[in-house]
Amino acid sequence: MTISPLALPFPDLPAIAGVTPRVARARYKNWDRCDLTFVTLDPGTTVAGVLTQSKCPSPEVEWCRRALVMGQARALVVNAGNSNAFTGDRGRAAVEAIAAHTARDLGCQPSDVFVASTGVIGVPLPIDKAEAGLAAAFEAQPCSWQEAAETIMTTDTFAKAAYSQAVIGGTTVNLVGIIKGSGMIAPDMATMLGFVFTDAAVEPGFLQRALGDANLSSFSCITVDSDTSTSDTVLAFATGRAGNPLLADIEDDGADAFRAALADLCLQLAHLVVRDGEGATKFIRVDVEGAESDRSARRIALSIANSPLVKTAIAGEDANWGRVVMAVGKAGEPAERDRLAIRFGATQVAAGGLALADYDEAPVAAHLKGSDIEIGVDLGLGDGRATVWTCDLTDGYISINADYRS
């Protein structure tokens, strides 16, 4: 496997009190590595989550959606290599068996067990392999965060994780996140499998609000290929072991600090997914301002970020700003050609409906040779603004997905 040229090194992460990760081999695919992640959580752990908006969700997503109502968690099981989506009663039976098996081992309710799976759609998850993998995980020694992050990977080329801190009532709390995602990434909620663990004491309702807000400015602002998975899941678990005053309301002391730390963590994780976009060689930031509303700005930014013509131009390091004009125009949002301004990096290339008279392509060409690219658009209509992140589109994306099931 060739590691993405945009990869970042795995960070040094602290242990989170009340969280114990383990990994094992269930052998869902012919991989010479672990493919089942099992995380136990201390009693009293609260949970929140954001899940795919796909109308064809996996049984795991449906299970988590129901379990989240209870707000409590004792375990997380993540299967890699088989998404178990579009598998009917057999898929549902597999999730129920995993939850029941885990609950028996921990002495908790099945609804305290959260399950996520990723991989090929349409193949039922083998219950015998899942239970054998769980049995091995129960006996395994605790593993590192890096081992856990590597085990949830599918087409990912590098393990992804991030870390942040907050001070609540004089107590420092830690937040760690691991994530997988490389393709089938679009901002229709969470766009991958991501798991956040914190030792903070957080009431589940407040945790849900904080995660939902963080999602809107991170996972819901990235796109690799405009496709939304059947299995997208981001879960946050709070063990309360740090001993901080319980966060239950936005007005509580430390609430803003916690929300900021969670938002920062989620944005770090979201950026890592884009940096591992299938076949990616460029990390692209798209800024839109001057729109009639933030919503309108976001739709235009996504139109640019999802455009195959824009993405291939960036892959070829071609300063073809006309493709950006095209993407703005097709977004279906208010725009006036003769007010539109476009920049690449810090260089203005067009305004007022045409290229600048003194436009020099040399600094733009230099910018496009780098790995971090910026595209800016000013519509000149209002105060709406938005930022989304994407990657370029290369033949590597085609190769990976043409061979995905082989």
* Calpha distance 374→389 (Å, rounded): 9
Considering the domain architecture, whether residues 154 and 289 belong to the same structural domain is answered as: no
Residue 83 lies in a domain: yes
Q: Judge whether 406 is annotated as a binding position.
A: yes
Q: Judge whether 157 is annotated as a binding position.
A: no
* Calpha distance 239→322 (Å, rounded): 51
Considering the domain architecture, whether residues 236 and 369 belong to the same structural domain is answered as: no
Residue 183: the pLDDT is: 47
CA neighbor of 83 nearest in space, from 58, 66, 56, 53: 58
Considering the domain architecture, whether residues 323 and 344 belong to the same structural domain is answered as: yes
Alpha carbon dihedral 253, 254, 259, 265, in 10-degree steps, equals -170
Q: Judge whether 62 is annotated as a binding position.
A: no
Residue 261: the pLDDT is: 98
Considering the domain architecture, whether residues 194 and 263 belong to the same structural domain is answered as: yes
> Is there a contact between 403 and 284 (Cβ–Cβ < 8 Å)?
no
Considering the domain architecture, whether residues 254 and 287 belong to the same structural domain is answered as: no
CA neighbor of 48 nearest in space, from 266, 260, 240, 206: 206
Considering the domain architecture, whether residues 109 and 152 belong to the same structural domain is answered as: yes
Residue 228 lies in a domain: yes
Considering the domain architecture, whether residues 170 and 154 belong to the same structural domain is answered as: yes
Residue-level pLDDT, tens digit, the chain, 406 residues: 689 999 999 999 999 999 999 999 999 998 999 999 999 999 999 999 999 877 778 899 999 999 999 999 999 999 999 889 888 899 999 999 999 999 999 999 999 999 999 888 888 999 999 999 999 999 999 999 999 999 999 889 999 999 999 999 999 999 999 999 764 444 444 347 999 999 999 999 999 999 999 998 999 899 875 555 556 889 999 999 999 999 999 999 999 999 999 999 999 999 999 999 878 999 999 999 999 999 999 999 999 999 999 999 999 999 899 999 999 999 999 999 999 999 999 999 999 989 999 888 899 999 999 999 999 999 999 999 999 999 998 876 676 556 544 4
32: Cβ contacts below 8 Å, ≥ 6 apart: none
Residue 187: the pLDDT is: 45
Residue 8 lies in a domain: no
Considering the domain architecture, whether residues 270 and 288 belong to the same structural domain is answered as: no
Instruction: Enter the tokens of residue 205.
Output: 């309702």
> Is there a contact between 118 and 273 (Cβ–Cβ < 8 Å)?
no
* Calpha distance 209→252 (Å, rounded): 14
Which structural domain, as residue segments, surrounds residue 356? 283-402
Alpha helices (H) along 237-293: 255-275
Residue 46 lies in a domain: yes
Number of H helices and E strands in the chain, helices first, is: 11, 15
With vertex at residue 361, the alpha carbon angle to CA 357 and CA 366, rounded to the nearest 5 degrees, is 155
Query: Where does 242-400 show beta strands of DSSP type E?
Result: 283-291, 341-344, 347-351, 354-355, 372-378, 384-391
Considering the domain architecture, whether residues 296 and 343 belong to the same structural domain is answered as: yes
Q: How would you label 390-399 residue by residue, b for 16+ Cβ within 10 Å and e otherwise?
A: bbbbbebbee
Residue 110 lies in a domain: yes
CA neighbor of 27 nearest in space, from 120, 126, 139: 126
Beta pairing, strands 193-198 & 46-51: unpaired
Beta pairing, strands 46-51 & 233-238: antiparallel
Which of 275, 308, 336 is the endpoint of a domain?
A: 275
Q: Which of 118, 157, 191, 230 is catalytic?
A: 191
CATH number of the domain within which 376 lies: 3.10.20.340
CA neighbor of 271 nearest in space, from 174, 391, 189, 368: 391
Considering the domain architecture, whether residues 271 and 307 belong to the same structural domain is answered as: no
Strand, coil or helix: 341: strand
Which of 275, 309, 341 is the endpoint of a domain?
A: 275
Beta pairing, strands 384-391 & 19-24: unpaired
Residue 3 lies in a domain: no
Considering the domain architecture, whether residues 298 and 251 belong to the same structural domain is answered as: no
Q: Judge whether 129 is annotated as a binding position.
A: no
Strand, coil or helix: 319: coil
Does 46 qualify as catalytic in the annotation? no
* Calpha distance 326→103 (Å, rounded): 54
Strand, coil or helix: 177: strand
Which of 229, 247, 275 is the endpoint of a domain?
A: 275
Considering the domain architecture, whether residues 360 and 229 belong to the same structural domain is answered as: no
* Calpha distance 340→297 (Å, rounded): 13
Number of domains in the chain: 2
CATH number of the domain within which 264 lies: 3.60.70.12
Query: What are phi and psi for residue 117, nearest 5 degrees?
Result: -140, 150
